[in-house]
Amino acid sequence: MVALLWCGLLSSFPGSAHAAGGSASDIVLGMSAPFSGSSRGLGIELYRGARAYFDYVNSRGGVQGRKVRILALDDGYNPRPALQNTIRFMDDKSVLCLFGYVGTPTVTRVLPLLKAAERDGKLLFFPFTGAQPQREAPYDRFVFNLRASYRQELSALVNKFSLIGLRRIAIFYQNDAYGRSGWDGLRRGLAAHRLGIVSEATYRRGAVASESMREQVQIVMEGHPDAIVVVGSYMASAAFIRDARSMGVHVPIANISFSASENLLRTLKRLGKGCGRDLTGDLINTQVVPYYRDEHFESVRLYRSLMAGGVPLPEVAEEGYVSPGLSDVSLEGFLDAVVMTEILRRFLDDPQRSLIHAVEGLHDYDAGIDATVTFGQTRHQGLSRVYFTTVRQGRFVSLEGEGWRQWQK
């Protein structure tokens, strides 16, 4: 179960020295993520969720008497700083492994480094991306994913669209590895129904909500879509939605999990005030974790309780950021920490067991969300379920069953 109290003390092991403010007995996880820039909400909230659970574990004696700490470095969602941060982590003997990286372009950039440093390198755990490169040879053996893939998210979304008669699907996506991964996932999902993408438009990575996306809206609408899929950051997605609605586009617009739904919603509300219209209607979001308000789940109850106590921002966070409080992103970080803690416990239980063997030996672990986590030598993804949310009365809620019929064609 999630709320376990571990005790005991194990002698020093490789990679278990100190982080800033820590001690020689700390377990240090290296996290490179955007803590500044237009995608800072992703890195900050993922960190806050993980930090909430690790602090909880540490307050109860840690893992085998050792505290777990995150050494966080900012990469601004840019590949080059992510690579530099990773080299620093690789060279730092106090860092046990890499954890909680954010984004396809950044993760994809560091994969060759993980492979090149295979003998002395460090494993990457639970990156916040559903892209394929770290799920396929030759890099899959260096990375463990917890979340479902973008292919799985988009396949599930297309299946829902098909059930309600929405067959003409367009896409607006980020012009980089992330966007192309989503584009490929949508193409594959549609092909399973003998369909294709009817129109597509792109934007550059790093776009902010103040930018115009009217040209992209015009291009997308040339395909006369029944629905539009967005594979982008929450800032760019919000800009596209604002311009689409202001241009009279009323078809459902669906975002995938990387869009950080709470930050997206907050941005849409702000933009809506500026243009005098409600921008939150006819929105769909795919998610890879349960709805964070659903207290049916043990881990969600614990998450809500711990987050309510207040969780600090990382020291490297850009000034001026205001947290949404609870979110799907911070819940994902929380669940990452829950599973990571169990892996560390198993690793420390047996001094002869390597970290990778500790992970690959994790089978049917109850993560407190009515879904078990299993890893193995040929299975480096722990979960596969996809969830859906939509906006009602100004907030995201679960989207299930009859809720889809509002868009029936």
In single-letter form, the type of residue at position 3 comes to: A
Residue 191 sits in a domain whose CATH number is 3.40.50.2300
| Per-residue pLDDT tens digits for 193-236 | 999 999 999 999 999 999 999 999 999 999 999 999 999 999 99
Domain containing residue 116: 27-148+292-378
Mean pLDDT, rounded, for 327-331: 98
Tell me, yes or no, whether 257 and 276 share the same domain. Answer: yes
Tell me, yes or no, whether 234 and 122 share the same domain. Answer: no
Query: Would you say 324 and 45 are in contact if contact means Cβ atoms under 8 Å apart?
Result: yes
Tell me, yes or no, whether 263 and 156 share the same domain. Answer: yes
Tell me, yes or no, whether 35 and 134 share the same domain. Answer: yes
What domain count does the chain have?
Answer: 2
Per-residue pLDDT at 248: 98
In single-letter form, the type of residue at position 25 comes to: S
Tell me, yes or no, whether 392 and 342 share the same domain. Answer: no
Instruction: State the Cα–Cα distance between residues 197 and 214, nearest whole angstrom.
Output: 20
Helices and strands in the chain, H and E counts: 11, 14
> How long is the chain?
409
pTM for the full predicted model: 0.92
Tell me, yes or no, whether 174 and 135 share the same domain. Answer: no
Per-residue pLDDT at 270: 97
Between CA 385 and CA 99, with CA 108 as vertex, the angle to 5 degrees is 65
Residue 96 lies in a domain: yes
Residue 185 lies in a domain: yes
Contacts of 124 (CB under 8 A, 6+ apart): 97, 98, 99, 101, 107, 110, 114, 134, 142, 143, 144
Tell me, yes or no, whether 214 and 112 share the same domain. Answer: no
Residue 343 lies in a domain: yes
Tell me, yes or no, whether 211 and 240 share the same domain. Answer: yes
Per-residue pLDDT at 351: 83
